[in-house]
Amino acid sequence: MSYAIDKIETAVAEARAQGKKRKIKFDESFDLAVNFRKKEVDVTKPENRINQELVLPNTLVPPPKVCAFGDGEFAEKATEAGAERVISKDDIPRIGEEKKERKSLAKGYEFFIAAVDAMPLIGRYLGQTLGSRGKMPRPFPPQADLSAIVSQYHRTVRVRMRNTPTFHVKVGHIKMSDREIVDNIVAVLNFVESKGFSERVSNIMVKTTMGPAVEVSV
């Protein structure tokens, strides 16, 4: 699929302008909706339901929150790398036994990483809660470059199609430049193409959090 970058830039600029017309007291994000033709994408079939992480070219603002599980060197490196929270192995059973806390944990962080030796405890006490949300952590050895891993997660979104032939992803923030947002949108469209869904797209819309949707012509 070839994209008319200037048309995507026009849509982003219009979405920004439309959003400014409303007196909003908080900084807004830019969200992209990709809608598919219902007759051509039957979401009752598992192969048509997308659920995958996608790394964008530009860091999101604010970046997705990352939580780490582990002790010692792994915990220190996770903190230095910018993980918003580090949970020791000893705390995993306690959190797992508190229904409210484990649900709050799953909801409060977009991505999870873990030391290899923490995974059995995570599976036992938090597996159902995190797994049902597609948030089971990726295991890493102590020598892993956690700075690069966390940095990548700060540019990552989850593309997930549920019960309707559409998905929504965050692609930017009003503090980002139009071109940075456009680059992120192109990455999403390239992803759609890589899944073989390009010809089944009905329309693509971009909007700020509280602003009206603007169609992206591609």
pLDDT of residue 113: 98
**Under 8 Å between Cβ of 196 and 5:** no
**Residues 22 and 72 reside in one and the same domain:** no
**Residues 144 and 90 reside in one and the same domain:** yes
CA dist 113 and 191 (Å) reads 24
**Residues 78 and 113 reside in one and the same domain:** yes
**Residues 24 and 56 reside in one and the same domain:** yes
**Residues 71 and 147 reside in one and the same domain:** yes
**What pTM was computed for the model?**
0.86
Q: How many CB atoms lie within 10 A of CB 179?
A: 13
- Tell me the pLDDT band of 151, cut-offs 50, 70 and 90: very high
**Residues 87 and 162 reside in one and the same domain:** no
The per-residue pLDDT for range 55-113, each reduced to its tens digit, is 999 999 999 999 999 999 999 999 999 999 999 999 999 999 999 999 999 999 999 99
The CATH number that applies at residue 97 is 3.40.50.790
Q: Return the percentage of the chain with pLDDT > 90, whole number.
A: 76
Quote the number of domains for the chain. Answer: 2
3-class SS of residue 121: helix
Asked if residue 53 has pLDDT above 70, the reply is: yes
pLDDT of residue 22: 63
Picking from 153, 184, 206, the residue at the C-terminal end of a domain is: 153
* Average pLDDT, integer, range 109-138: 96
Domain hosting residue 81, numbered range: 66-153
| DSSP code, position 94 | H
Sign of the dihedral through C-alpha 4, 5, 10, 11:
positive
**Residues 77 and 144 reside in one and the same domain:** yes
- The mean pLDDT of the chain is 92
Torsion-angle region of residue 134: left (phi > 0), alpha (psi -120 to 50) or beta?
left
- Token representation of residue 163: 């019960």
**Residues 26 and 133 reside in one and the same domain:** no
**Residue 62 preceded by cis peptide, ω within 30:** yes
The per-residue pLDDT for range 174-205, each reduced to its tens digit, is 999 999 999 999 999 999 999 888 888 999 99
Q: Could you tell me the maximum CA-CA distance found in the chain, to the nearest angstrom?
A: 53
- Which DSSP string do the residues of 143-204 spell out, in sequence order? TS-HHHHHHHHTTEEEEE--SSSEEEEEEEETTS-HHHHHHHHHHHHHHHHHTT-GGGEEEE
Asked if residue 211 has pLDDT above 70, the reply is: yes
Picking from 130, 153, 176, the residue at the C-terminal end of a domain is: 153
**Residues 203 and 125 reside in one and the same domain:** no
